[in-house]
Structure 1
Amino acid sequence: MAAALPVCYHGAMTKKECEDLLGKKNKDGAYLIRDSETIQGAMCLCVYKQKVVYTYRLLQSHNGYYTLLTAGGLDETFFKTIDDLIRHYKRKNQGLAMHLRHSVKRKTALLIQPQRELQAQPSKSPEQRPHYENVMQHLLHFEFSLKK
């Protein structure tokens, strides 16, 4: 059975919808988690600071641990649950533009099974299983494409 997702998880939400919602909250350190629009199976941790929304990729490794892609040069830290990750980033000076302070909770129940829970189910062959490394390849390709 998949772990419960935190109430700050909003599922499928566009970047614009996220920015609007965090902007209405208008509090530095307001945050939510949404599905990535560009990387299948990844999520985004979005944090509001001084009218700007900072977005960090939230990835799950092949062994089920979670990590954030933060500022370059910082060591990757892995967490057993998303709640553990959130607790860690509530502390100051952990690599985010602003530490997490105000969870923006979803107002409605999620009616469909999140995509990453579907992917976590056993697949027929190792090639079909999602891997953290595969997500990283897509992310690096996407970032490279943006630089062109």
Structure 2
Amino acid sequence: MVSCVYFGQIGKEDAERLLERHGKDGSFLLRDSQSVSGALCLCVRKAPFVHTYRIEHSSLGWAVETINRKKPQWFQSLDELLECYRRHTPGHMVPLLYPLEKANLHTEDRPSPAAKQAYMEM
């Protein structure tokens, strides 16, 4: 599942735009965190917002950061984390209902690294 919903190094605004354009309440994707190296962000749409949850990785595995610093639930893989939260979403999170799969998006809708290129040699 992770490979289907992982969008890599797209920014927060690009993730929000994708979820707003192609998603519905409960649609989600994963992206790299822009502020914490090695962390991921789980972005979930619940109109009128896109909620973002940071996923951290350590020797214990993968866990969603908790707001009130409660002890997080650790998983051995990202797939396990996503599947568990799809079946039973904690009360502080928006339910994960619909994976926003990259393969289902048109190529022109996906942000590309080349789009940020400002210099072109002729």
If the TM-score is normalised by the length of the shorter chain, which range does it land in? 0.7 to 0.9
Which whole-Å CA distance do the structure 2 matches of 1:82 and 1:54 have between them? 18
Which whole-Å CA distance do the structure 2 matches of 1:51 and 1:106 have between them? 22
| Cα deviation, residue 26, structure 1 | 3.8
1:68 lines up with 2:64 in the alignment:
yes
| 3-state DSSP of counterpart to 2:42 | strand
Structure 2 unaligned blocks of 5 or more: 108-122
Which residue, 17, 28, 33 being the options, matches 1:36?
Answer: 33
Which residue, 1, 9, 14 being the options, matches 1:17?
Answer: 14
- Give the match for residue 140 of structure 1: none
- Give the match for residue 51 of structure 2: 54
Which whole-Å CA distance do the structure 2 matches of 1:6 and 1:95 have between them? 26
Q: After alignment, is 74-83 or 30-39 more displaced?
A: 74-83
1:97 lines up with 2:97 in the alignment:
no
- State the percentage of identical aligned residues: 33
With over 3 angstroms needed to count, the CA separation of the structure-2 counterparts of 1:47 and 1:5, relative to structure 1, is closer
TM-score, scaled to structure 2: 0.76
In the TM superposition, what whole-angstrom CA distance separates every residue of 1:7-42 from its partner, at most 9, and x where no partner exists? 101100000000000001241110000000111111
- The runs of at least 4 aligned residues of structure 1 exceeding 3 Å deviation read none
Q: After alignment, is 73-82 or 13-22 more displaced?
A: 73-82
Which residue, 68, 76, 79 being the options, matches 1:83?
Answer: 79
How many residue pairs align between the two structures?
104
With over 3 angstroms needed to count, the CA separation of the structure-2 counterparts of 1:5 and 1:18, relative to structure 1, is same
TM-score, scaled to structure 1: 0.63
Of Structure 1 and Structure 2, which has the larger fraction of its residues in strand? 2
